[in-house]
Amino acid sequence: MLPRFVAVLLLAVWPLWVHADPIPPVVDWTVPDDLPWQTPPSASPAHRYTVPTVGGDTDLVYHNPEFWDFMWRFPGDYVALWDKAMQEEAIPYWGAVVLSTGVLIYYDQKLINGAQNLGRRWGIGNKDNTKPYFSIFGQPIRGPSDVGSAMYFIGDGWLHSSFALGFLGYGYFGEDSRALRTGSELVEGLMTTAFATQTLKHITGRESPIRATQGGGVWRFFPNQIDYHQHVPSFDAFPSGHLATGVMTVTVIAENYPEYTFVQPLGWTLLGLLSFQMMNNGVHWASDYPLAIAMGYGFGKVAVARGRAIEAHSANRAAGIRRDAPQGWDALRLAPMVTADGSMGIGVEYPF
């Protein structure tokens, strides 16, 4: 039973571990400049932040966002993502989402049982033990109180909102256009993923495992909305908003900071823990995940594509724009290494 459970669970979360190439080579993620509510970037060189790409042939150029960019760009993100989803090159990805979702629906009840058995064996609680620590404008701010709730908290909207505020604050006080743009894109992504996942939840009406009345849960398409809001866990399983938001956050940060290669493996590992815990505490089925991953990744890619320009080095040199590279401690790099005699260790790199 356990090998079968592990094998099918890996099928559920396989996209989380494909991080070697963050940009699928066959899908063009560039977006047109005439999307609805597209805000033209500032042309002032003082508001540009240029980062050399890992490959070295192009630069990522960031402009300061307008204050309400995340709001005005919100509708255009759906237009852009729909355009990308309808590309012929996207068919294999849709096929993977549909196939993995179908297979996982078949195994859902066994996967839930296996996840909860493992949780009990490892001493991980299967209840939401987050508790309020303080309140903002009367709204309680909850946080984890044990290992299980800490794993579940990885997908909490307050955590991702804190990331966005952190980037916005650093960008504003540090006059860093890339950080400002990243924070704006995170807010933008939180809005697009929340609206899209909530819309699908209200359409599909799938029972959460904790409220399931039969194996795999009942789907009640287009449920009565009064019933929905009175008994939310009985209708809101598909797709996972927590996972979609988490994937969006990792995608935006990793795409805007490609030189920090630890972001993706760390992010995907944390999302894997979140995925397990949401099954352990009965919030989601494994089949709620593939579409959530695709949505979070797509909204993150679109937000980044609309928020920066990619220019050749020659264009930046001609414009007299400085290519900013990490300085000081930010330039220090640690990486695993293998010596000629086969010994393993940690290498230190510092460009000067």
Q: SS3 for 94?
A: helix
Grouping H, G, I as helix, E, B as strand and the rest as coil, residue 5 is helix
DSSP state of 38: P
Question: Which of 320, 324, 23 lies closest to 178, judged by CA?
Answer: 324
Spatial neighbors of 136 by CB under 8 A, at least 6 apart, are none
Whether residue 22 is predicted with pLDDT greater than 70 in this model: the reply is: no
The CB-based long-range contact list for 143-149 (8 Å cut-off, 24+ gap) reads 147/123, 148/119, 148/124, 148/277, 148/280, 148/281, 149/125
Output 269 or 128, whichever has higher pLDDT.
269
* Mean pLDDT rounded to a whole number for the chain: 81
User: Domain span at residue 104?
Assistant: 2-349
> 10 Å Cβ neighbour count for 94?
13
Query: What is the rounded average pLDDT of the residues 155-162?
Result: 89
Q: How far apart are CA 8 and CA 20, in angstroms?
A: 22
Q: Is the pLDDT of residue 201 over 50?
A: yes
- Statement: residue 5 has pLDDT above 60: no
Between 192 and 131, the more confident residue is 192
pLDDT of 95 higher than 90:
yes
Identify whether the C-beta of residue 144 lies closer than 8 Å to the C-beta of residue 130: yes
**Distances in whole angstroms, Cα of residue 152 to Cα of each of 146, 243, 251, 267, 275:** 10, 10, 19, 14, 8
Q: Other C-beta atoms within 10 Å of 300: how many?
A: 29
Q: What are 303-341's pLDDT values in tens digits?
A: 999 888 877 765 555 555 444 444 444 444 545 555 556
Lowest mean pLDDT among 108-112, 130-134, 193-197: 130-134
Please state, in angstroms and rounded to a whole number, the distance separating the CA atoms of residues 214 and 288: 17
pLDDT score for 123: 93
- How many domains are contained in the chain? 1
pLDDT attached to residue 74: 79
Q: Judge contact between 306 and 76, C-beta under 8 A.
A: yes
The owner of tokens 């930046």 is 316
Work out the average pLDDT over 63-92.
Answer: 86
Give the pLDDT of residue 53. Answer: 66
Diameter of the chain by CA atoms? 69
If pLDDT is split at 50, 70 and 90, which confidence band does 38 have? very low
Q: Which of 280, 194, 209 is nearest to 241 (CA)?
A: 194
